[in-house]
Structure 1
């Protein structure tokens, strides 16, 4: 039994959820998100709450996933999502111009990354980067792509990491 899938989702004021075939559209104060859902999971809205149900027991994982995806869409159009990254290393810096992130992270050339549609990138300082948007998936994916440019290494701790990420340090070589 999917416990997550059985939880009801409360629809906040100012948010509309509409279903058109297999597509569910969520409109809110920050924007609009549309996603295609699996037809095996049934969706119904009663008294400002959304309930999901499945037709057979083989779709347990899908049941919880669909419910979590819709809950994330609703939270995104109401509050939005934000990921913060930090550049650690001598000479590492980031600049943003016209939603294009330019990273200087120890390569012979700067790395330029254009933010996907619906995502805004900002650099509050030379070493702090912030990715914001209404889609949890797109924000997380773009933040992961930024981190992958120079992921943190365990010996000196240099690289791009999430603000709340802990990088376990290793001991270097010992000389005799």
Structure 2
């Protein structure tokens, strides 16, 4: 059995989980998240804790028990606190503006880029060079952040581009004659 699956997931106050054969639904103040399940993992709820076990002794079932436990733990965190991802824009004239459910990016191209946010992800721009993405689904917030970063990844000579907050870009030395 996976070692991570041995630890139960505690459900804080105000969070409720509904387990069926095909899916698990976690509801909380930040929203509701659903995860489809395979028959390889059995989930039991007792005393406000969810416990996970492999349904059989196969290698895949043991691996999936830890994977499902990690996914459900992220769902519980997401519907209770939510997830946040910050991006910084580095470069002369690089700026971002939040417009409702989209963000307008000026990244040195001849045109502006308007990135539409999916359902469940909100965007804010505290300053012109910062983008803050928030949502309950960790995977969706991270995917949107990766899509925005892909428009202009940090380049290695000057470091210009869209970075994750706290990301270190190693600057290369220029060619010498």
Q: Same fold (TM over 0.5)?
A: yes
TM-score (norm 2): 0.96
* Separation of aligned partners in 1, 2:157 and 2:5: 43
Q: Deviations over 1:128-166 (max 9, x none)?
A: 000000000100000010111101011100000001111
Q: Deviations over 1:72-109 (max 9, x none)?
A: 00000000000000000000000111121111101111
- Please identify runs of 4+ aligned residues in structure 1 that moved more than 2 A: none
TM-score (norm 1): 0.96
* Separation of aligned partners in 2, 1:163 and 1:73: 23
**Is 2:21–2:37's contact at 8 Å kept on the other side of the alignment?**
no
Tell me the CA shift for residue 46 of structure 1: 1.3
Q: Which residue of 2 aligns with 1:32?
A: 32
The count of residues paired between Structure 1 and Structure 2 equals 175
Tell me the CA shift for residue 56 of structure 1: 1.4
Q: Which residue of 1 aligns with 2:124?
A: 122
Say whether 1:8 aligns with 2:20: no
* Separation of aligned partners in 1, 2:85 and 2:66: 24
Partner SS, residue 76 of structure 1: helix
Tell me, which stretches of 5 or more residues in structure 2 are unaligned? Answer: none
* Separation of aligned partners in 2, 1:81 and 1:57: 34
Partner SS, residue 75 of structure 1: helix
Partner SS, residue 125 of structure 1: coil
